[in-house]
Amino acid sequence: MKHALVTYAVPSLAGFAAGAMNALAGGGSFVTIPAFIAAGVPTVQANISSTVALYPGGLAGAWAWHRGLVPVGGVSLRVLGLVTAAGGFLGGSLLLWTPSSAFDLIIPWLLLFATLLLAFGNGVGALLRRHVAIGPSAMLAIQFVLGAYGGYFGGGVGIMMMSVWSVLGTTDFRQLHPARALMVSSANTAAVALFVVARAVAWRPTLGMLAGAIFGGYAGGYVGGRLDARVIRAGTLVITGAITAIFFARAYGYPMPR
């Protein structure tokens, strides 16, 4: 009974929470990765399985946005998508080559980086526009790096993409959301395909989490229109900050119970 609870029920509930978080403000992986680790999945495989579990929800979101797709900075979305997917494949490959012992030390910093992006990402584009000028060629190079980050970990990568794109002159973030959803899915498509072929996914807890994430995404989208955005943002930052602190304690201080 306890084994079934940890293997299926906990990942399903975590998937529901993560799907709702991603629909509301982002940061779903902050919930899914600890849930996999609690189920006894090694850290690298937990990150891999989290990406796979949240992938269908992200893909559905990209489809929901498809009518608003427009080129970014004069670059066609097809070219941008291919570059992003290539980066995602590289990032996924690097993740597969990373030992769990090393990833245990890396992941707290990735979580901290993603938390800071969630907290301050909306102002990054305005800051960059005042000090940086990039053209389409430089943007493609940066996009490849962002795709690699998305395939390796991905926390806050959508915010990073929109911040970079805004430097090219598109300051209305609402226009960037459809392309952001598509590019995040492009990076994850390449990474997920690689993870599945490499047989690196912990499928039992992943399937439960995947189902939970679908329902959570629907619930988050329904509730999101009825809650104050400031409350959603504050709640998300409290959750992500607390989980980041736990992972730092786990890596450099006190181990998390398994």
pLDDT at position 191, please?
Answer: 96
How far is 231 from 229, CA to CA, in rounded Å? 5
Mean of all residue pLDDT scores within the chain: 81
Integer Cα distance of 258 and 253 in angstroms: 15
pLDDT of residue 72: 80
Cα–Cα distance, 19 to 156 (Å, whole number)? 15
Percentage of the chain surpassing pLDDT 90? 28
pLDDT digits (tens, 9 = 90+) for 10-34: 888 888 888 887 776 667 888 888 8
Taking residues 207-227, what's their average pLDDT? 77
pLDDT of residue 258: 46
- Mean pLDDT, range 135-148, rounded to an integer: 88
Distance CA 224, CA 19 (A): 12
Q: pLDDT (tens digit, 9 = 90+) per residue, 79-137?
A: 999 999 999 999 999 999 999 889 989 988 988 888 887 777 666 666 666 666 667 78
Place of tokens 């992500």: 240
- Residue 254 — pLDDT band, cuts 50, 70, 90? low
Q: Of residues 194 and 212, which shows the higher confidence score?
A: 194
By CB atoms closer than 10 A (0-12, 13-18, 19+), residue 220 is buried
Q: Which residues contact 79 (CB under 8 A, 6 or more apart)?
A: 140
> Is the confidence at residue 168, as pLDDT, over 70?
no
**What's the whole-model pTM score?**
0.82
pLDDT higher than threshold 60 for residue 255:
no
For the ranges 57-61, 65-69, 125-129, 216-220, the lowest mean pLDDT is seen at 125-129
